[in-house]
Amino acid sequence: MLCWHEDFISMADKQLGGSFIIRFDYRDTGTSTNFPLGEAAHYSINDLCDDAVAILDELRIESANLVGFSLGGAIAWVIASQHPQRVRSVSLFSSSPVGPLPSGQDALPQWNSELSAQRATAPFPSDWQNLDMVTDFLMFCVDCTSFPKSEGAEREEIYRRQTIEFARVSRQGNSVQSIFNQSAAVSGR
């Protein structure tokens, strides 16, 4: 799982003392089980949560501090609500709730229409096995969500990590395109 920068992991590891960090690729991510685009009906967000809890079971970990980014945050959120005894704490980054907010809560800010217009111009690859096309697309996605935009050495590092992730997925015979199955799994489509 390369979206967690090694410097961040090293810093967290030092801060945690006697604890350890478990990172894993959930379905349709990295070198985990991948399905062809459109075949997400094989799993739901609850299945992704069950996978994470199964890892805790396999490692004989009774409870854990969960940290989740994006969909990983949604997974951590659902685990905390369905298995509170397994969760010591939850830290969420760039994540949204799955399902409606509790009554009386203000709605979350709406999707930015300017960002939607920008994303509509995404350079979707015609060949998902082509490193340059896929990396250009992934970098476009990074640019859509980076404020301010990444530049210089930071941008080069992001690009390097994207190419490594592409290589990891390709070695398995999988396609980066399968990440789009996750939104269908989360929304229940």
User: CA dist 8 to 2, 4, 12, 36, 178, Å?
Assistant: 11, 7, 6, 32, 27
Q: Hey, what are 121's tokens?
A: 């111009």
The CA distance from 31 to 34, in Å, is 8
pLDDT tens digits along 120-153:
788 888 888 888 888 888 888 777 776 667 778 8
pLDDT tens digits along 56-77:
999 999 999 999 888 888 899 9
- Give the pTM: 0.72
The mean pLDDT value of the chain amounts to 79
Angle among Cα 50, 39, 172 to the nearest 5 degrees reads 80
Spell out the domain ranges in the chain.
Answer: 22-101, 112-176
Beta-ladder partners of 91 = 67
- Ranking 1-15, 48-62, 104-118, 162-176 by mean pLDDT, the lowest is 104-118
The CA distance from 65 to 145, in Å, is 26
Q: What mean pLDDT do residues 152-169 have?
A: 80
Under 8 Å between Cβ of 162 and 5: no
Helix, strand or coil for residue 46? helix
Q: What is the pLDDT of residue 189?
A: 46
The CA distance from 99 to 136, in Å, is 32
Could you give phi then psi for residue 95, rounded to 5 degrees?
A: -130, 160
Query: Between 188 and 116, whose confidence is greater?
Result: 116
